[in-house]
Structure 1
Amino acid sequence: MEELKNYLNHISVLGEETFNILQNYFEPIELKKHEFFIKEDSYAKQIGFLQKGIVRAFFVNNEGKEYNKQFFVGPSIIGAYSSLLTNQPNKIAQQALTDCQILVADFKKVEALYDKHHDLERLGRKIAEYYFLEKEQKELEMGLLDADKRYELMREKFPSIERIIPQYYIASYLGISPTQLSRIRKKLSQP
């Protein structure tokens, strides 16, 4: 739980009493490679703290093509936030790309602590703000930057991911084809 405490305190400091209560809501689980944290069209109930591993958030269009929206590399917070907030079916699946160690908690139980523990409520707001800013940044990158620059930024953000997950996931995340990704990688590797 110390890793969870350090991660959360890096975002917004929690009082000892708050963390001692909060940690009782989390239980460890393991996801094997290719298992889902949450599937499309299911109702989200849990949030997770990804301690180790890589999870992808993706959706499938009407033609059956997958689009990787985000990668989560531990340590990170995961969960179907829109579904948690709206009580509507989830549209963006989250799937383990490696074996993962995760601490999970019932979101509604954690949220119920907000009225009494304002430091936890502030933490929840800061996490939401972070993911909003991250989403906006990705949208700007997709709209304003060429594929070479998006690839370079992805490598900065996820430095070791290329050696771990299939290239077609990375290409989908960048909004390009695997062939385009191969060309970019070849071009950037030349002196």
Structure 2
Amino acid sequence: MKIQPLLNYIGQHVTLTKEEEAILESKVSYRKYLKGQFVVQQGDVCKYECFVVSGCTKTYYVDDEGQEHIVMFSVEDWWTSDIGSFITQTPADFNIQCLENTELIMFSYDEIETLYAEIPKLERFFRRIIEKALVASQKRIIRSFSLSAKDRFLYFRNQYPKIEQRIPQYMIASYLGITKEFLSKIKSQLILEQ
């Protein structure tokens, strides 16, 4: 199992002993997904908290009119999950779909509770991850109300510096809450300003 990227990431926050690393490795699963496959679909219960080893996913909601609303992209060393569904074990509000062939290290709901008991510092680690995610989500809500579409796009470029070439423009537009035509105008304007 390719667990080293996860261990490197965890090591930035907490220090695990070799024994704890072995316990962790025994409790997680590793899975490869093909481009287009779903990690979770709206209405299903999200059974895993996932760490992206390689690839790219999008998290999105489909409204009653069939319109797709992208709320997040996840690339290497990022996490992906419908966290509300995972924590409450109730039907997911979001779809998580692979935009590229993707490799994930997956923590099941049951195993994560076991890990917390066996390696208490992992509970602190995951608390920090969830806190960061909550703060990022709240700041995104504020940006969507307070920034112009152009400034939201510039922030997106800064937040996801390596992703713009990896995903279609219409998905970036969906994430920003604008049309792909308007995104095209913003990009043209930015080129003229250089």
Taking structure 1 as the reference length, the TM-score comes to 0.94
Look up the equivalent residue of 1:143 and give its one-letter code. F
User: Could you tell me whether the CA contact under 8 Å between 1:12 and 1:123 is conserved in 2?
Assistant: yes
Equivalent residue number for residue 66 of structure 2: 64
User: Could you tell me whether the CA contact under 8 Å between 1:26 and 1:105 is conserved in 2?
Assistant: yes
Distance in structure 1 (CA, Å) of the matches to 2:139 and 2:13: 19
Q: Map 1:57-136; keep pairs closer than 5 Å.
A: 57-136=59-138
The partner residue of 1:170 within 172, 185, 192 is 172
Q: Secondary structure at the match of 1:14?
A: coil
Give the share of equivalent positions with the same residue, in percent. Answer: 28
Shift of 1:34: 1.0
Distance in structure 1 (CA, Å) of the matches to 2:57 and 2:71: 11
Shift of 1:52: 0.7
Runs of 4+, deviation exceeding 4 Å: none
Distance in structure 2 (CA, Å) of the matches to 1:10 and 1:153: 25
Q: Structure 1: 5+ residue runs without aligned partners?
A: none
The aligned length equals 191
Distance in structure 1 (CA, Å) of the matches to 2:4 and 2:99: 25
Q: CA RMSD in A?
A: 1.3
Distance in structure 1 (CA, Å) of the matches to 2:50 and 2:112: 11
Distance in structure 2 (CA, Å) of the matches to 1:85 and 1:109: 13
Shift of 1:81: 1.2
Is 1:27 matched up with 2:22? no
Per-residue CA deviations over 1:17-56 (Å, capped at 9, x if unaligned) read 3322111122221111111011110011112111111100
Shift of 1:115: 3.0
Equivalent residue number for residue 11 of structure 1: 13
